[in-house]
């Protein structure tokens, strides 16, 4: 158990809908990262937050947004969902900003868009 | 060119034999290098990392990795494979050369047969 929790585990929804994925980082970790894992794209970094502020952006679509709250939990919002958004979404956390810090991953949320 | 290359989609090895999962990175400089493992329907688990110093890094579950700067490689090794090592293995790099983002390889499936 990495100490990172994600809810829900599974999500099934329809095209055009909006969903929110939730992540709680390990105790003491200030950095939260979101990743998307799909068969065709592999593991892709989406976005990073550190202590409530956005720090880095990857290949995140404009339809997607995220935030980190004062209690350090984070939410990833996916809107106007398309079939291609079906994927595993992982949250990870690390202690700080340094590149050498390993990231600890949650169990993921499997999103299915029908 | 890929930032991180895992040239083998799958590696098959007999239980008790040594295993190697290959990884090369394409950017010069001094990135930080990581190995993660993913079991079915689970999140990624951190195995080991290279920051600096000794080129042979020891990690969890008996795994080790050898950093070779001249060949820009970071191959994962284990002297004696177990059936329970069967999983998906990811090499990843992070550093200024990669926009300070964790960039993953495509992954290598390891199958250990008894």
Residue of chain B whose alpha carbon sits nearest to that of A35: B102
Partner B contacted by A4 (CB < 8 A): yes
- The pLDDT > 70 percentage for chain B reads 96
**Which residue among A58, A90, A100 places its CB closest to the CB of B43?**
A90
Partner B contacted by A109 (CB < 8 A): no
Question: pLDDT (tens digit, 9 = 90+) per residue, A61-93?
Answer: 999 999 999 999 999 999 999 999 999 999 999
Residue of chain B whose alpha carbon sits nearest to that of A56: B101
Going across the sheet that includes A64-68, the strands are A5-7, A19-24, A74-78, A64-68
Question: pLDDT (tens digit, 9 = 90+) per residue, A46-57?
Answer: 999 999 999 999
Q: Poorest-confidence range of A18-27, A95-104, B80-89? A: A95-104
B78: confidence class by pLDDT, cuts 50, 70, 90: very high
- Supply the pLDDT for residue B30: 81
Can you tell me the distance from the alpha carbon of B37 to that of B61, in angstroms, rounded to the nearest whole number? 11
Rounded mean pLDDT, A11-27: 98
Is the alpha carbon torsion for B25, A44, A38, B109 positive or negative?
A: positive
DSSP 8-state assignment for residue B34: E
Can you tell me the distance from the alpha carbon of A35 to that of A47, in angstroms, rounded to the nearest whole number? 7
Greater pLDDT, B41 or B21: B21
Element (H, E) at A99: none
Look over chain A and give the mean of its residue pLDDT values, rounded to a whole number: 95
Residue B64 pLDDT greater than 60, yes or no: yes
Greater pLDDT, A78 or B29: A78
Nearest to B99 by CA among A59, A30, A56: A56
Residues of A in contact with B51 (CB under 8 A): 100
Residue from A5, A44, A105 whose CB has the most chain B CBs within 10 Å, to mutate: A105
Which residue shows structure tokens 């679509």?
A61
- DSSP SS3 for A25: coil
Can you tell me the distance from the alpha carbon of B61 to that of B27, in angstroms, rounded to the nearest whole number? 29
Given a contact cutoff of 8 angstroms between Cβ atoms, the answer to whether A69 and A6 are in contact is no
Element (H, E) at A6: strand A5-7
- Supply the pLDDT for residue A107: 96
Can you tell me the distance from the alpha carbon of B52 to that of A9, in angstroms, rounded to the nearest whole number? 37
Instruction: Give how far A80 is from chain B: nearest CA, Å.
Output: 26
Residues of B in contact with A103 (CB under 8 A): 46, 102
Can you tell me the distance from the alpha carbon of B59 to that of A2, in angstroms, rounded to the nearest whole number? 16
Question: pLDDT (tens digit, 9 = 90+) per residue, B31-53?
Answer: 899 999 999 888 899 999 999 98
- Supply the pLDDT for residue A26: 97
- Dihedral pair phi/psi, residue B97, rounded to 5°: -65, -20
B2: confidence class by pLDDT, cuts 50, 70, 90: low
């Amino acid at each position: 158990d990495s100490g990172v929790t994600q809810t829900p585990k599974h999500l099934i929804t329809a095209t055009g809908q909006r969903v929110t994925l939730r992540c709680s980082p390990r105790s003491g970790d200030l950095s939260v990262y979101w990743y998307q894992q799909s068969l065709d794209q592999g593991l892709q970094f989406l976005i990073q937050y550190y202590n409530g502020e956005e720090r880095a952006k990857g290949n995140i679509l404009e339809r997607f947004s995220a935030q980190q709250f004062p209690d350090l939990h984070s939410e990833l919002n996916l809107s106007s969902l398309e079939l291609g958004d079906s994927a595993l979404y992982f949250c990870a956390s690390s202690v700080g900003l340094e590149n050498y810090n390993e990231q600890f991953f949650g169990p993921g949320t499997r999103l299915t868009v029908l | 060119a890929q930032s991180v290359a895992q040239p083998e989609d799958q590696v098959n090895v007999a239980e008790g034999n040594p295993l190697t999962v290959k990884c090369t990175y394409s950017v010069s400089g001094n990135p930080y290098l990581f190995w993660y493992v993913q079991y079915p329907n689970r999140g990624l688990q951190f195995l080991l990392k290279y920051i600096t110093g000794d080129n042979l890094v020891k990690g969890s579950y008996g795994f080790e990795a050898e950093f070779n700067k001249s060949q820009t490689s970071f191959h994962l090794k284990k002297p004696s494979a177990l059936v329970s090592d069967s999983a998906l293995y990811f090499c990843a790099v992070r550093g200024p050369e990669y926009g300070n983002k964790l960039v993953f390889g495509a992954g290598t499936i390891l199958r250990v047969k008894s």
